[in-house]
Structure 1
Amino acid sequence: MAATAQGGGRSRNLVLAAMIFAVAMTFIDQTIVSIAVPQIQDELSLSSTGVQWAVNAYLLTLAAFFAYGGRLADTVGHRKVVVAGVLIFAAASLLCGLTPKGGVAQTWIVVFRAVQGVGGAIMFPAALGIVVQTFALRERGKALALFFGVAGGLTAVGPILGGYLTEWTWRAIFWVNIPVAVIALILIAASRPVTEHRPAPMDYRGLALIVAGVALSVFGFQQAQIWHWSNPAIAICIAAGVVLLLVFHRVETRTASPLIQVRIFRDRAFLVENLVLGITMLVFVPFFFFASEYAQIGLDKSASGAGLYLLDFFIGFVIASQIGGRMLDRGGAKRPVVLGCVLGAVGFYLLAGQVTDLDFGGQFWYIVLSGAGLGMMLTPASTDAVNRASRLSYGEATGITQTVRNYAASLGLAVLGTISVARFQSEAESSLISRGVPAGKASSQAHDIAQSHQTSSGASGIPHFIRLDFADATRTVFSVMAGIMAVAAVVAQFGLRRGLQVEEETQGAPAGTDPQL
């Protein structure tokens, strides 16, 4: 492979470092903003819906434009697209931090959070495509374990860093991306990664369909916690989004140069890996949200303390990610993916049994085990899925897997959020009744408590029995997560085949190269 032969180990490692710094911003921003929400809302006088969209606008555009980013990288050139993505993300971060006070504030911050998401969506598939093309097939597991392990670990750094930066000014949570972007651009210029690409026209019809389909359905899932599932607009949004995605699939099969080569799903391993990734993403991203809430409400942790709770999860994640990557290189994806799903299921099950004790010490090893399970399977599943594409379609394959992952994460947050609120409300109502509160009044109070808990900044002033009720709701959520991981293990066990993947040379039209900007 031309791209794999470039330079030696030192050159390849420099490319890897450059790509890790490039995507670091996207991982940090998935969690860092949530910590500063109260300060942002207070200073800018945002409505509850406005501040919710200051968080969701980023996640929505990130999910909607991943497929476009992957296709753009494969047709224009991976390095050009990474640089463009870094510049867009950094500029949008700067402007988010410069949000003016007054009537324009809400529109300003939501728009530039959305632009951040677009920058991240075009940057990530291109960066991963560079890493995949830089390392030979038998070295990718180890390289991508480091890529996903370090970059993924930054998701846990977000709340910790955000907690400290917010003490100075909430604007710093956006400005911290600027030095990271500068380092990434310097490393890209120094490493000068060379990749192959194939110039082709952009399928704008397909782009419009998938962006609208993903955006509408993800919007529906995100709004479920605001509008509630009983609102018919939720079902309408999700149904319309799904219909558009089905139309997208049909259109792509008849398009000469499609945004996504949907026939890649005929590859059984690619299809199964994406199914497993989709199932586990119902758990992975939502865990940060529910664990952070539990740490602050149930365990009376500060925002930065909640970040440390998540950091324990990533101790297991990062270590097991390296092990899973090496297992992939030695024997293929099936064993680490199945084993990781099983470990995750056991970890969440054991963790669920401990959360009502309100004792962090008794939970530590189960948190680590849960993280280890997800770390062991995510890198091999993601890497093996991307390896199924040709050298000229790595960006496209990454765009597909990331769209699946973000779509599933939105679904997981909505469904598990509904379960959490319903369980919390039920437990709180029973507790209030047992303390002599009339049934009607208890039901009303429990509803108010359950709906307002997401804005709580800690357990101070919350009665002990309410903390226990919230912990019980968290136990239910973690138990469901254990079941979801068990389902993923079954799908991987029966859907994946054992053995190493054989590297094949790309057939088809002549490729271009991306030697310079």
Structure 2
Amino acid sequence: MSDNGGAPGPGSAAGPRSAPNQSVALAAMLFAVSMTFIDQTIVSIAAPSIIDELGLSSSGMQWVVNAYLLTLAAFFALGGRLSDIFGHRRIMLVGTVVFVLSSVLCGCVPTGEVAQTWLIVFRATQGVGAALMFPAALAVVIAVFPVDRRGRALALFFGLSGALTALGPLLGGWLTAWTWRAIFWVNVPVAVVAVVLTALARIPNIRRPERLDLPGAVLVALGMGLSVLGLQQASAWGWSSFATWACVIGGLLILVLFAAYELRLRQPLIKLQVFRDRAFTADSLVLFFAMLAFVPVFFFASVYAQVSLSASPDQAALFLLYFFIGFGIASQWGGRILDKRGARPAMKLGTALGAVGFALWAGKLTDLSMHDQWPYAALAGAGIGFLLAPASTDAVNRAIGASYGEVTGITQTVRNYAASVGMAVFGTILTHITTDRVVETLQSKGVPDAAAQDAARSVAEAVTGHPDGQEPSGSGPVASAMRDSMDAIRLDFAQANQWVFYGMAIALGIAFLCSLLHPGTRVTQADQQVTADPRAAPAD
């Protein structure tokens, strides 16, 4: 008997395959990948509550966010290749199981000294599950839709999956009011729906048996991990530290070695020859610089709202909703521009609007008024909305001579590595500037330099800044000065965030320049037909 439209199993007679249900298959894959997008943002809202209950440091909390992004980036290419080799449906289901089990364990983290390590480890395994799931889910969508309907299906896939990122802050705010642990447990019912729909959709397990490039997978994971470690720890080690630069430069050199190694292989982990396509290179560069801002903005805007604006998690979620209103509306227009005129106009418009929006938003952060910022937050979101789906879809459509799994592995690796770098770099900037600003505030209150430095580092590490209105505990002149200076310290934190948001504006400005490199050519259905791989075969 054939399995969901796949090839007959060993010893069975060949028979007609059941056609997959395209609508159910698309719904199943969207439910699956929604977890990966929601988890990029949902933790940001709960960050102060997690820090408070588990006693995490600021850098530790950033690693809770970054562990997911980094492993997602480091293993995405491997996930794409495993999907090609062992079958898209099978790897998608394996990834879903790994992801949801990791989510449950994240929600069950014990308190005490082991808490930070526990949470980082299982956030990392969540990222591995997502890296297996996403490229396989995309490959399923491509496999079940014919060429003449594939463009609309891909636009819906990228558009909805990107928009689902908006659910993270909203769910996070609502669930955190009950318990922050529920932000991880919510993935369980979503995963169950995805698995049930996958079974109902009769999806064939298309595979392409080839050699797996394990050395390449190790090199890319090691290179990304080391480079982000150096950037992340720069706030603790210092930019003059040998360890900081050893990690950053060493990681980048390993990535160069990885590229040289891949170019020599007949069956590499990533076919880097696809970068010979100027349009694909432009798409990837735009995605890289845009993603420096897109995922980190949720973390930094959420913490800013809860520290500087004294907002509750629910209020912080509504603050981020301004961004997503702009994102949601613009993503629809961006899809239409892609269909009619190609990716280049949408990317140019999106990067320009994003750069202006983030710059104007940065200028309003020190007003300490949530409602005065909504036009600029919405403008920044609109910029990302215009470019995200067109750049991603155009890159996937250019999988000429390579599998969709491989090309998706490249683009998603670029996106998630950029998000990890953005979290690390902007987190370091925020910590340094917050420390400097708080030192100045405390010194103005007569606190000695050494005591001011110690207190400022504590504030920067705590990051929450007592957003619930509680005053710092303790007695003595330093504690008294801290209590008297809380309003000024909240402003200090807002000024530090200004540097972060101006950095995001610069990243979008660079993305605009990269969009000009795109030749403006469009991929036709005839071009997409070339991507059909004669080596691909259904499996059981």
Question: Would you call these one fold, judging by a TM-score over 0.5?
Answer: yes
- Cα distance in 1 for partners of 2:262, 2:509 equals 34
- Aligned residue for 2:95? 85
Once the two structures are TM-superposed, the CA of residue 97 in structure 1 deviates from its matched residue by 3.1
- Aligned residue for 2:536? 512
Q: RMSD over aligned Cα, in angstroms?
A: 3.1
1:488 has 2:511 as partner: yes
Paired residue total: 510
Verify the 8 A CA contact 2:57 2:461 in the aligned structure 1.
Answer: no
- Cα distance in 1 for partners of 2:281, 2:457 equals 43
- Cα 1:44–1:302 change in 2 (3 A) is closer
Once the two structures are TM-superposed, the CA of residue 63 in structure 1 deviates from its matched residue by 1.7
- Cα 1:423–1:384 change in 2 (3 A) is same
- Aligned residue for 1:233? 243
1:381 has 2:391 as partner: yes
- Cα distance in 2 for partners of 1:263, 1:353 equals 42
- Aligned residue for 2:464? 455
Once the two structures are TM-superposed, the CA of residue 368 in structure 1 deviates from its matched residue by 0.9
1:466 has 2:466 as partner: no
More deviation, 277-286/370-379: 277-286
- Aligned residue for 1:319? 329
Once the two structures are TM-superposed, the CA of residue 314 in structure 1 deviates from its matched residue by 1.1
Q: Deviations over 1:184-236 (max 9, x none)?
A: 01111222334754221111121121122122222223333444434322221
Once the two structures are TM-superposed, the CA of residue 38 in structure 1 deviates from its matched residue by 5.7
- Aligned residue for 2:357? 347
Equivalent of residue 209 in structure 1, options 219, 222, 226: 219
1:41-60 alignment runs, 5 A limit: 53-60=63-70
1:72-471 alignment runs, 5 A limit: 72-99=82-109, 107-135=117-145, 142-194=152-204, 196-390=206-400, 393-433=403-443, 435-437=444-446, 440=449, 444=453, 447-448=456-457, 451-452=460-461, 454-456=463-465, 458=467, 460=469, 461=471, 463-471=486-494
- Cα distance in 2 for partners of 1:145, 1:488 equals 21
- Cα 1:286–1:49 change in 2 (3 A) is closer
1:455 aligns to what SS in structure 2? coil
More deviation, 330-339/53-62: 53-62
Once the two structures are TM-superposed, the CA of residue 340 in structure 1 deviates from its matched residue by 0.6
Q: Deviations over 1:116-174 (max 9, x none)?
A: 11111111111122234444667555544433343333334323323433444443222
Once the two structures are TM-superposed, the CA of residue 96 in structure 1 deviates from its matched residue by 3.0
The one-letter code sitting in structure 2 at the alignment partner of 1:502 is T
- Gaps of at least 5 residues in structure 1 are none
- Cα 1:47–1:350 change in 2 (3 A) is closer
The one-letter code sitting in structure 1 at the alignment partner of 2:257 is V
1:30 aligns to what SS in structure 2? helix
Q: Given the two structures, how large is their TM-score scaled by the length of structure 1?
A: 0.89
The one-letter code sitting in structure 1 at the alignment partner of 2:271 is Q
Pick the structure with greater CA Rg. Answer: 2
Q: Given the two structures, how large is their TM-score scaled by the length of structure 2?
A: 0.85
- Cα distance in 1 for partners of 2:326, 2:152 equals 17
Once the two structures are TM-superposed, the CA of residue 389 in structure 1 deviates from its matched residue by 0.7
- Gaps of at least 5 residues in structure 2 are 7-16, 472-484
Once the two structures are TM-superposed, the CA of residue 383 in structure 1 deviates from its matched residue by 0.9
Equivalent of residue 500 in structure 1, options 496, 513, 522: 522
- Aligned residue for 2:477? none
- Cα 1:454–1:145 change in 2 (3 A) is farther
Verify the 8 A CA contact 1:280 1:485 in the aligned structure 2.
Answer: yes
Once the two structures are TM-superposed, the CA of residue 509 in structure 1 deviates from its matched residue by 6.4
Q: Deviations over 1:263-288 (max 9, x none)?
A: 11111111111111111111111211
